[in-house]
Amino acid sequence: MGKSKAKPKAAGGGGTRTQVVKLKPGKAKTSWFRKVPPIKSYAQSVRQFLAEVVGELRKVTWPSRKETLGATGVVLVLVIILAAYLGLVDYILSHLVRYLIG
């Protein structure tokens, strides 16, 4: 059964006219637990994901030991150069600030 509610009309009129508004019944809320798929579908999804991961890892071309050591050396040299540069800039700027303040 539909419920009805009397709603006063917009202000400005002098009468006591009312407008009938029909209210729709609300939907019952379902709990979050009912929306969760069963555990079997999760297990199947995890199994499929892991099978695809193994398949993709077989396609990867891994670098040789020589290539890995070469790339590591380049990274270490660049880190040392950058650290020295930033240390020098920090040293110069800190002495400049001390000179300006003191």
Which residue from 11, 8, 27, 10 is spatially nearest to 19, judged by alpha carbons?
8
**Residues of the chain with pLDDT > 90: what percent?**
53
Answer whether 0.85 is exceeded by the pTM. no
**Is the CB of residue 2 less than 8 Å from the CB of residue 22?**
yes
pLDDT, tens digit (0-9, with 9 covering 90-100), for 39-80: 777 888 899 999 999 999 999 999 999 999 999 999 999 999
pLDDT at 99: 92
pLDDT mean across residues, the chain: 84
pLDDT at 61: 93
Q: Where are the alpha helices (DSSP H) in 1-102?
A: 32-35, 39-59, 65-101
Determine the 3-state secondary structure of 72 from DSSP. Answer: helix
